[in-house]
Chains A and B, each alone.
Chain A
Amino acid sequence: MTDITTIPAAPRAPLAARLGASPAQIAAIALVALFLLAFLVVPIVRVIQIAFTGPEGGFSLIHFGDFFQTSLLRESFWNSVYAASMTVVVASLIAVPLATIISRFQFRGAALIHTLGVIPLVMPPFVGAVAMQLIYGKNGSINLLLHDWFGFRIPFMEGLNGVIFVEAVHYFPFILLNLSAALSNIDSAMEESAQNLGASGFSLFRKIVFPLALPGYVAGAALVFVKVFDDLATPLLLSVTNMLAPQAYLRITSVGVADPQGYVISVIMIACALATIGLSQLALRGRDFSTQQRGGGGLARRNLGKGGTLLATLFVVITLLIVLSPHIGILLLSFGTVWSFAVLPDGYTLAHYATVANEAGPFVTNTLLYCGLAGFIDIVLASIIAYTVLRTRLKGRHLIEQMAMAAVAIPGLVLGIGLLRTYYDIHLPSGESLATFWGMLVIAYAVRRLPYALVSAKAALRQLHVHLEEAAESLGAGKFTTLTRIVVPLMTGGLLAGFVTSFATAAVELSATLILVTRPPDAPISYGIYVYMQAAAGRGPGAALGVLAVLVVAIATFLSYRLAERERGLKSREGAF
């Protein structure tokens, strides 16, 4: 044995060990932080700063005073609050019965309801808005029929009603998915033990089912509220301008980048989004029971009975028809010749698709390029953040994660305004402003979708037991080899799913797009649809482009679903260790 005393003293712990990460890891996360700082934090801080700066400089609330003294803006604020709240109500009327039917009763059409829950998500509301106008509008199919048969009309689409209806039909799945997930997490043993102790009927519902399902419902409802509050394109397409998002957009695009009211509205929108998310989390503090009931078999499903089955079937069929109506409408519109003051189009043609094929090529290639790049940036950033958070002890790593996740609460419109204002005066060598350069659109998409990619990346890395990496290290592989040979191959499925989600949702994003696109040749598909839909003559090609976009998103969604499934399969086999 070696004489221990002759061994030279241990060197001081290397810097990496003291910081809790290797130099390469620190460099990577520093770049991520820089990206977030430049394209998220600085633009948003700039927006807030302008909103609070008086005409002579210095802190001032004068613009907020102006805001609340302008009756149009005051009205817009209340309209936005009203529309978002009513959308939650209408969406709940659709979603709560559906969730109840699938998780509490035996119902043959359960698979149908599950499909119902996905269909609206593949089509952004603004695409369906025009089609719904044609079906439910004052002179739309339904009202024409009602008027012919019964002599009255229902103002489904008048003003805010239209916004509420369109948004509710598109966003009810958020409530349905969250609520049915919460309901299926309740173990039947919980219900049974309550029954065993003497609870039944309404008291069982009130004491056990309702409190356990509430977190899911609130999470879904808050999401719907924020989505509607922030949506710009749907009100614009329905010609509703007296809401907050359209007002901000019109201010910036018509009055100019310097108009302070655009920034005041932006600040109010961020505040409302934060308040909604904050309130929902506050209401649910200590009430998130979902993790305690892993593997719960869901509630016992009881028999509906004849009358119940009939009622449920009727409800599901009518809901299905309403939910599908924007899709059917857009399809009819894309194949229809003229559709005006008629129940159905006068005739059918492929001409709109021909127009799209001739004119809209750049829209499609732009979307593929921008969203592909944005998705790629997202998985790279998300992987670095996930790795830093889960695998190092670097100080401040949670702050960077929170920074990335904060993008969830920032409306696309506001991010667009912030980027525009921050980078408008910086010019590329070509003389073009950096803010209107197409690359800025890619960055805006990447920042907006980063939270989704981050969730995917963290889930993928969590599934990967740290022993798998340590085994490689102890066999002589350094951090980099371990990353490329072990971590990346095993995370691929999850990362791909994250990429596809980012890609698909960016493909139909319009809020930031409308602000940042200045030249049609640089525009993506969503912008193309919007521009076509503005004119009556463009509706056909707009709809054809919409169908194309829906197909892209549907295929991408299906792919990401399959990837996630495959990943789960792999994991369960690993679980056999």
Chain B
Amino acid sequence: MATSVSIENVSFGYGRALVLDDVSLSIEAGEYFCFLGPSGSGKTTLLRLVAGFGTPSKGRIVIGGKDVTHLPPWERNLGMVFQSYALWPHMTVAKNVAFGLERRKLPRAEINRKVGAALERVGLPHLADRRPAQLSGGQQQRVALARTLVIEPAVLLLDEPLSNLDAKLRTEMRVELKRLQRELGITTIYVTHDQEEANAAADRIAVLDGGKIQQIGSPVDMYDHPANRFVAAFLGTANLIEGRIEGSRFVAPDGFALEGVSGKAGTACVSIRPQNITLTASGTGLAGVVEEREFLGETTRYRIKTGTHALIVDEPHRRDSEPHQVGAPVNLAIDARQVAVLHD
């Protein structure tokens, strides 16, 4: 049965500097939950507090209905996969995987059976007698995963698990992790700074910055309805324009205006995704000039100067399509329904 995790008003600091500031969130049983944020946001510290490496200066952590705030790591029965994998170089793969089971005093025959099954599950049964130094990065990652899952932990904790892998392997492992998680139904907390990784896998995401939770929600929900400027900009690319809402109209000081925007009257900021702006060579709408152009493969990314703003615009690339030239005048069409209004 899967386990829920609840973090209640947790603060943590070294000396005077506050790394986590009154963080609260609850993770449901069986959920694939992601802590997302830039480096220094406190996401890894939060994961380490859940694992038991450190005690919050305020607040408490409840796992499966039990307050574990002051429980040492070895009494929490959580499985942590470290960014560095942390395989013990003086033990074979099998010994590494067996370690947790030996601590649980299982009979030898059962340990051997479980180690075999765990290595089977990650696709490495043939490497049981190797030393970690003889494995590739991807193989080490799988061994680390097997070593963690074999103890059947209440919660699986993953600290930037893919950051040491190359791009292709990263995508493969991401899918594999998701598959394992779904098969085992295990509550999983995943820490990353990569929004693509988070979006692709997580059921829900908590975006952290400066030790505070910025927003919690599903990837799609947060992408479409960011709570603030930080979340809008951190989840994908966003054109943020500061201005005021007057009735159903948004106006920026340089005259940039959007009709049909709904939001509270007064100072506001709008977030427009680059793929939601359409460019035409001649037509109606906002006038602008192409400042820069980058060909990215699937899309062509433009920087368009309009008023005092420079907007990023992505156009899907089609074979042999004619790009807009740098310096050419263009017209911009923005669908107001695609615009998110931010009030803080």
A binds B: yes
- The stretch of A6-14, A255-263, A413-421 that contacts the partner chain: A6-14
B70 and A11: CB pair below 8 A? yes
> Which residue of B53, B78, B84 is within 8 Å of A465 (Cβ)?
B84
Q: How far is the CA of A477 from the CA of B147 in the complex (A)?
A: 13
A471 and B80: CB pair below 8 A? yes
A573 and B66: CB pair below 8 A? no
The answer, yes or no, to whether B277 is at the interface (CB within 8 Å) is no
In this complex, the interface size class of chain B, counting residues with CB under 8 Å from chain A, is 35 or more
A477 and B53: CB pair below 8 A? no
Given A10-B69, A10-B70, A475-B100, A467-B55 contact (CB < 8 Å)? no
The answer, yes or no, to whether A426 is at the interface (CB within 8 Å) is no
The answer, yes or no, to whether B46 is at the interface (CB within 8 Å) is no
Q: Which residues of B contact A471 (CB under 8 A)?
A: 80, 82, 86-88, 144, 147
B65 and A2: CB pair below 8 A? yes
Choose among A8, A467, A489 the residue with the greatest number of B CB atoms under 10 Å from its CB: A467
Task: Count CB-based A-B contacts (< 8 Å).
Answer: 106
The answer, yes or no, to whether B37 is at the interface (CB within 8 Å) is no
B133 and A465: CB pair below 8 A? no
A573 and B133: CB pair below 8 A? yes
Per-residue 0/1 for A452-471: is the Cβ within 8 Å of any B Cβ (1 yes, 0 no)?
00000000000001011011
- Shortest distance in angstroms between A477's beta carbon and chain B's nearest beta carbon? 5
B89 and A472: CB pair below 8 A? no
Per-residue 0/1 for A168-195: is the Cβ within 8 Å of any B Cβ (1 yes, 0 no)?
0000000000000000000000000000
Q: Which residues of A contact B100 (CB under 8 A)?
A: 475-476
Q: How far is the CA of A468 from the CA of B84 in the complex (A)?
A: 9
A10 and B140: CB pair below 8 A? no
Per-residue 0/1 for B41-84: is the Cβ within 8 Å of any A Cβ (1 yes, 0 no)?
00000000001110100001010111101101110111110111
Give B125-151 interface residues, CB cut-off 8 Å to A. 133, 137, 140, 144, 147-148, 151
Q: How far is the CA of A13 from the CA of B57 in the complex (A)?
A: 9
The answer, yes or no, to whether B85 is at the interface (CB within 8 Å) is yes
B78 and A486: CB pair below 8 A? no
Given A1-B4, A4-B62, A13-B70 contact (CB < 8 Å)? yes
Q: How far is the CA of A483 from the CA of B276 in the complex (A)?
A: 57
Q: Which residue of the partner chain A has the closest CB to B64?
A: A2
Give A1-33 interface residues, CB cut-off 8 Å to B. 1-2, 4, 7-14, 17
Q: Which residue of the partner chain B has the closest CB to A470?
A: B53
> Which residue of B8, B74, B82, B88 is within 8 Å of A476 (Cβ)?
B74
The answer, yes or no, to whether B319 is at the interface (CB within 8 Å) is no
> Which residue of B28, B62, B66, B72 is within 8 Å of A473 (Cβ)?
B72
Q: How far is the CA of A490 from the CA of B53 in the complex (A)?
A: 21
> Which residue of B55, B86, B87, B148 is within 8 Å of A470 (Cβ)?
B86
- Shortest distance in angstroms between A169's beta carbon and chain B's nearest beta carbon? 43
A476 and B66: CB pair below 8 A? no
B52 and A17: CB pair below 8 A? no
B103 and A477: CB pair below 8 A? yes
The answer, yes or no, to whether A577 is at the interface (CB within 8 Å) is yes
> Which residue of A2, A10, A465 is within 8 Å of B60 (Cβ)?
A10
B89 and A467: CB pair below 8 A? no
The answer, yes or no, to whether A308 is at the interface (CB within 8 Å) is no
Q: Which residue of the partner chain A has the closest CB to B147?
A: A475
The answer, yes or no, to whether A254 is at the interface (CB within 8 Å) is no
Q: Which residues of A contact B52 (CB under 8 A)?
A: 473-474
Q: Which residues of B contact A481 (CB under 8 A)?
A: 103
Q: How far is the CA of A489 from the CA of B91 in the complex (A)?
A: 10
Given A2-B64, A13-B70, A474-B51, A577-B103 contact (CB < 8 Å)? no
Q: Which residue of the partner chain B has the closest CB to A22?
A: B72
B88 and A573: CB pair below 8 A? no
The answer, yes or no, to whether B99 is at the interface (CB within 8 Å) is yes
B85 and A577: CB pair below 8 A? yes
The answer, yes or no, to whether A576 is at the interface (CB within 8 Å) is yes
A573 and B89: CB pair below 8 A? yes
> Which residue of B55, B82, B88 is within 8 Å of A490 (Cβ)?
B88
> Which residue of A2, A4, A477, A570 is within 8 Å of B99 (Cβ)?
A477
The answer, yes or no, to whether B168 is at the interface (CB within 8 Å) is no
The answer, yes or no, to whether B122 is at the interface (CB within 8 Å) is no
- Shortest distance in angstroms between B238's beta carbon and chain A's nearest beta carbon? 34
- Shortest distance in angstroms between B178's beta carbon and chain A's nearest beta carbon? 22
The answer, yes or no, to whether A278 is at the interface (CB within 8 Å) is no
Given A4-B6, A10-B60, A475-B103, A467-B88 contact (CB < 8 Å)? no
The answer, yes or no, to whether A359 is at the interface (CB within 8 Å) is no
A467 and B67: CB pair below 8 A? no
The answer, yes or no, to whether B29 is at the interface (CB within 8 Å) is yes
A14 and B137: CB pair below 8 A? no
The answer, yes or no, to whether A159 is at the interface (CB within 8 Å) is no
The answer, yes or no, to whether A478 is at the interface (CB within 8 Å) is yes
The answer, yes or no, to whether B113 is at the interface (CB within 8 Å) is no
Q: How far is the CA of A1 from the CA of B2 in the complex (A)?
A: 10
Given A4-B8, A8-B67, A476-B151 contact (CB < 8 Å)? yes
> Which residue of A14, A465, A490 is within 8 Å of B70 (Cβ)?
A14
The answer, yes or no, to whether B337 is at the interface (CB within 8 Å) is no
Q: How far is the CA of A481 from the CA of B99 in the complex (A)?
A: 11
The answer, yes or no, to whether B90 is at the interface (CB within 8 Å) is yes
Q: Which residues of B contact A12 (CB under 8 A)?
A: 70
The answer, yes or no, to whether A574 is at the interface (CB within 8 Å) is yes
Q: How far is the CA of A473 from the CA of B54 in the complex (A)?
A: 13
Q: Which residue of the partner chain B has the closest CB to A472?
A: B99
Choose among A14, A472, A577 the residue with the greatest number of B CB atoms under 10 Å from its CB: A577
Give A279-305 interface residues, CB cut-off 8 Å to B. none
B90 and A490: CB pair below 8 A? yes
Q: Which residue of the partner chain B has the closest CB to A9?
A: B67
B28 and A1: CB pair below 8 A? yes
Q: How far is the CA of A465 from the CA of B55 in the complex (A)?
A: 21
The answer, yes or no, to whether B164 is at the interface (CB within 8 Å) is yes
Q: How far is the CA of A471 from the CA of B84 in the complex (A)?
A: 10
A467 and B82: CB pair below 8 A? yes
> Which residue of A1, A4, A13, A474 is within 8 Å of B78 (Cβ)?
A474
Given A474-B51, A481-B103, A10-B67 contact (CB < 8 Å)? yes
- Shortest distance in angstroms between B53's beta carbon and chain A's nearest beta carbon? 6
A478 and B74: CB pair below 8 A? yes
Q: Which residues of B contact A478 (CB under 8 A)?
A: 72, 74
Q: How far is the CA of A540 from the CA of B312 in the complex (A)?
A: 90
Q: How far is the CA of A574 from the CA of B89 in the complex (A)?
A: 7
List 22 contacting pairs A-B, 8 Å CB cutoff, sorted by A.
A1-B4, A2-B64, A2-B65, A4-B8, A4-B26, A13-B55, A14-B70, A468-B86, A470-B73, A473-B73, A474-B51, A474-B78, A474-B80, A475-B100, A476-B77, A476-B104, A570-B133, A573-B133, A574-B133, A577-B85, A577-B140, A577-B164
Inter-chain pairs besides A12-B70, A17-B70, A471-B144, 9 sampled, C-beta below 8 Å:
A2-B64, A4-B6, A4-B62, A7-B67, A10-B70, A11-B70, A468-B86, A474-B51, A475-B100
Residues of A within 8 A of B (CB): 1-2, 4, 7-14, 17, 465, 467-468, 470-478, 481, 485-486, 489-490, 570, 573-574, 576-577
Nearest 8 CB-CB pairings of A with B: A2-B65, A475-B100, A467-B86, A476-B103, A471-B86, A573-B133, A473-B73, A474-B80
